[in-house]
Structure 1
Amino acid sequence: MLKKIVFTALLFSLIIPSVWAEQLSKIAAVVNDEIITTRQLEQRLVSRGERSATDAQKRQELDNMINERLMEQRSREIGLEVSDDDIETAINDVQQQNNISREQLEQALIAQGLSMSGYREQLRGQILRYKLMGYEVKSKVDITRQEVRNYYQEHLDQYRQSPRVRLSRLTFPLGDDPTAARENATIALRKLDDGESVDEVLVNMSPRTRIEGGEMGSFVAGELSETFEQAIADLDSGDHTPLIPLGDALHILKVEERIPGSVADISTVEEQIRGELSQQKMDQKLQEWRENLRSESYVDVRL
C-alpha cells in the first residue's frame, strides 16, 4: 500500500508541472527546428510596455520575433559571431551618447524591468543582426555616378540655397541720456555717408561715446526681427538704414553684401546623395532578403 502511495505521488509530481507548463506557455510559432513560446511573446510585449496588447499587436510582434530568429539561425549558419568586446563597445557608446555612468545605465535598465545581463543579450542580438545585414545586404548595394546625377537633377529644389544678406551694425544704448544717444547716432550716420566703414566708426567714436556693434553675420529671410527685415528690405550692398529705435537703443544696420541664392554644386552634396540612395536600396534589398529567407525556411505560426 505504501509503495502504491509513493508511486502515485511521484507520478502526480511529474504530471502537474507539465500541465502547468502547458497552461503557462504554448507554442506560438515553429521556426525551422526552433520554437517561440507564448510566454516568450508575452515577455517581449511587456518589455515594450504593451501589457494589454491587441491580437494584431501580438501577431506583429510575433512576426518580428520570427524574423529575428531566422536571422540568428542564418548568422550561425555562416559563422557570424558577436564578441564580448563588441557588446562592451556598444554599451560604452550608449553611455557616451547619454552622458551617463555604468551605474546610472544599470539603474535605468532596472526601472525598465531589465537586468544588465538581459540588456547585453539584447545588444548581442542587435549587433548580430546588424553584422548579418552588412554581410547579406549592404555589401551588395552599389550606387553609380549616374544614379547620383539623376537624383540630384530630380531634387534640385532640395539643394537650392536661399539668398542671404551679410550685415554689420552700430548700436547706441539710450541709457539715462537719450538725447546724447541720438546726437551720437546722427554723427555716426554722417560718417557712414562719408564713406567710413562700421569698424572705423566704432574705433573713432568708442573712446568718448557709448557705442556697440560690428559684424553680425549673414541671414536668410525670416531670421531677423520684423523691424530689421523691413528696414533692410530695399537696401543694396553698401547701403545703410536710418536710425532704428528698438528696445532701449538706436540701431544702424549696414548691408555689407547680398549673396544671391544658388544651387549647391553636385560635388558638395554627392556623399549625402549616396547615403540617401544607399539607404533606399538597403531598405528594399533587406525586405527582399527577408522574404526570400522566410520562403526558404519552415515557419509554422500557431498563435
Structure 2
Amino acid sequence: MLKRILYTGSLILALVPMLTALATASAASKVLDRIVAVVNEDIILLSELDARMSPYVQRIRQQGFDLEKEQKMLYKVREDMLNRLVDEKLTDQEIKRNDINVDDAEIDNAIERIKAANYYTDEDLRGFLEADQMTMEEYREKIKEQILRSRLVNYEVKSKIVITDEEVSNYYDNHPELYGGTLHYHLRNILLPMPAGATDDEKTAIGQKMAVLRAQFEAGTAFADLARTYSEGPAADNGGDIGEFTIDTFSPQIRAALDGLQPGQATSVLDTDRGFQLFYVEAVKRSEDKPLESVREEIHQKLYAEVVDKTFLSWLEDLRGQSHIKIIN
C-alpha cells in the first residue's frame, strides 16, 4: 500500500512539470493572438492583421532590401493594413445600423458575373481559390462583404451626388488635350524685312521702328491700319491678313510667341530669319476631334468617380471622428 502511495506521489510529481509546460505553451499560444485595435464595440485581432499583411510581407521579403529598409516598409504596410481593417469595421457597423442586407441569390449572381468577365469555369474558380488557400464559403463571405459595403457607399455617398451638365462642359473645355483637335490661328502680320548685308546699326534701326509700331498698337491704333501703312509683307494691302494656320505649321519661335494669346492681342517684336515681325491674333479656334456629345457620358462617369472617392473619404473621416478607436501596439 505504501509503495502504491509512493508510486502515485512520484507519478504526480512527474506530471507537474509536464502540465506546467503545457499550460505555459497554451498561454503562449493565446498571447500570439492578441487585440491590436478596438473599434467601438468591435475588436481587431493580431491574427486578422497578420492574414491581411501576409501577401505583402512575402513580396517585400523577396525584394532583397537591407534590414532597415525592409523594417520600414513592413511597418508602413502594417499601419496601412490596420487602418484599412479599422475602416472596414466602421463600415460594417454602419451596415448593421442601417439594416443593409444581401441574400444568397445576389451573391450567386455576383460570382457568376465574375466568372463570366474572366472566362472562368466553376472548376477554374475553385482552383484559383485553392491556390490562395481560400474555401468557397470564405470566398462567398468576401463577396457578400463587398456587396454590402458597395450598398453602404450608395446609401451614404452616391445617392447624394449630382454632376451637372455645366460641370461636364467645363471639364470638356478645360481639357482640350483630351478631347479637342488642332488649334487654328487666323493671323495678321507686319513684316519689316532685313536688307541683304545690313549693318548692325541698320538692323537696330529697323528693330526700333517695329517697336514703335508695337507701341502704337498698344495705344489703340488698329493693327490692320498699321499693316497697310508700314508692312512690307505680301499681305500689306489686305491689312496684313495672312489667313488661317494650324499651330503646328509655325516655327518654335512663333509658336512660343502665340502661346496663350487671345483674339485682339499681338506678339512681341520677333527677330526672325525673314526680318522683324509682329503677329496679330484675329481669331483662334480648335477643331473638334471628339464632339462634346460623344464624350459626355465618359466625362460624367469620370467626374462622378472622382466626387465619390472624395466624398467617401470625407464621410469615413467624419465617421472615424465620431467613433471610439484605440490602436494597441
TM range (shorter): 0.5 to 0.7
Give the distance between the partners of 1:121 and 1:127, measured in 2 at CA: 10
Give the distance between the partners of 2:138 and 2:24, measured in 1 at CA: 30
Report the 3-state secondary structure (helix = DSSP H, G, I; strand = E; otherwise coil) of the residue aligned with 2:76: helix
Q: Could you say which residue in structure 2 is the equivalent of 1:44?
A: 52
Matching residue within 147, 169, 177 for 1:149: 169
Give the distance between the partners of 1:52 and 1:32, measured in 2 at CA: 32
Q: CA RMSD in A?
A: 3.1
Report the 3-state secondary structure (helix = DSSP H, G, I; strand = E; otherwise coil) of the residue aligned with 2:37: strand
Give the distance between the partners of 1:76 and 1:141, measured in 2 at CA: 23
- Alignment deviations for residues 7-45 of structure 1 (CA, whole Å, 9 cap, x no partner): x89x96995576134322111100101110111111122
Q: Is the Cα–Cα contact under 8 Å of residues 129 and 135 in structure 2 kept in the other structure?
A: yes
Q: Could you say which residue in structure 2 is the equivalent of 1:186?
A: none
For the pair 1:31 / 2:57, whether they are aligned, the reply is no
Q: Could you say which residue in structure 2 is the equivalent of 1:63?
A: 83
Alignment of 1:206-221 (within 5 A): none
For the pair 1:128 / 2:148, whether they are aligned, the reply is yes
Matching residue within 20, 23, 38 for 2:28: 20
What number of residue pairs does the alignment pair up?
Answer: 207
Segments of 5+ residues of structure 2 without an aligned counterpart are 1-8, 62-73, 183-285
Matching residue within 128, 138, 163 for 2:158: 138
Report the 3-state secondary structure (helix = DSSP H, G, I; strand = E; otherwise coil) of the residue aligned with 1:91: helix
Q: Could you say which residue in structure 2 is the equivalent of 1:87?
A: 107
Give the distance between the partners of 2:94 and 2:156, measured in 1 at CA: 10
Give the distance between the partners of 1:125 and 1:47, measured in 2 at CA: 20
Give the distance between the partners of 1:47 and 1:279, measured in 2 at CA: 28
Segments of 5+ residues of structure 1 without an aligned counterpart are 163-259
1:262: Cα distance to partner? 2.8
Report the 3-state secondary structure (helix = DSSP H, G, I; strand = E; otherwise coil) of the residue aligned with 1:28: strand
Q: Which amino acid aligns with 1:128?
A: L
Give the distance between the partners of 1:127 and 1:281, measured in 2 at CA: 20
1:105: Cα distance to partner? 0.5
CA 1:98–1:48 in 2, change beyond 3 Å: closer, same or farther? Answer: farther
Q: Is the Cα–Cα contact under 8 Å of residues 159 and 264 in structure 1 kept in the other structure?
A: yes
Report the 3-state secondary structure (helix = DSSP H, G, I; strand = E; otherwise coil) of the residue aligned with 1:262: coil
The TM-score, its normalising length taken from structure 1, stands at 0.60
Q: Which structure's CA Rg is the greater one?
A: 2
Report the 3-state secondary structure (helix = DSSP H, G, I; strand = E; otherwise coil) of the residue aligned with 2:314: helix
Give the distance between the partners of 1:79 and 1:14, measured in 2 at CA: 45
Q: Could you say which residue in structure 1 is the equivalent of 2:244?
A: none
For the pair 1:291 / 2:311, whether they are aligned, the reply is no
Give the distance between the partners of 2:133 and 2:55, measured in 1 at CA: 7
More helix per residue: 2
Q: Could you say which residue in structure 2 is the equivalent of 1:276?
A: 302
Identity across the alignment (%): 31
Give the distance between the partners of 1:49 and 1:17, measured in 2 at CA: 26
Bigger relative contact order (CA 8 A; separation at least 6): 1
The TM-score, its normalising length taken from structure 2, stands at 0.56
For the pair 1:301 / 2:301, whether they are aligned, the reply is no
CA 1:51–1:31 in 2, change beyond 3 Å: closer, same or farther? Answer: farther
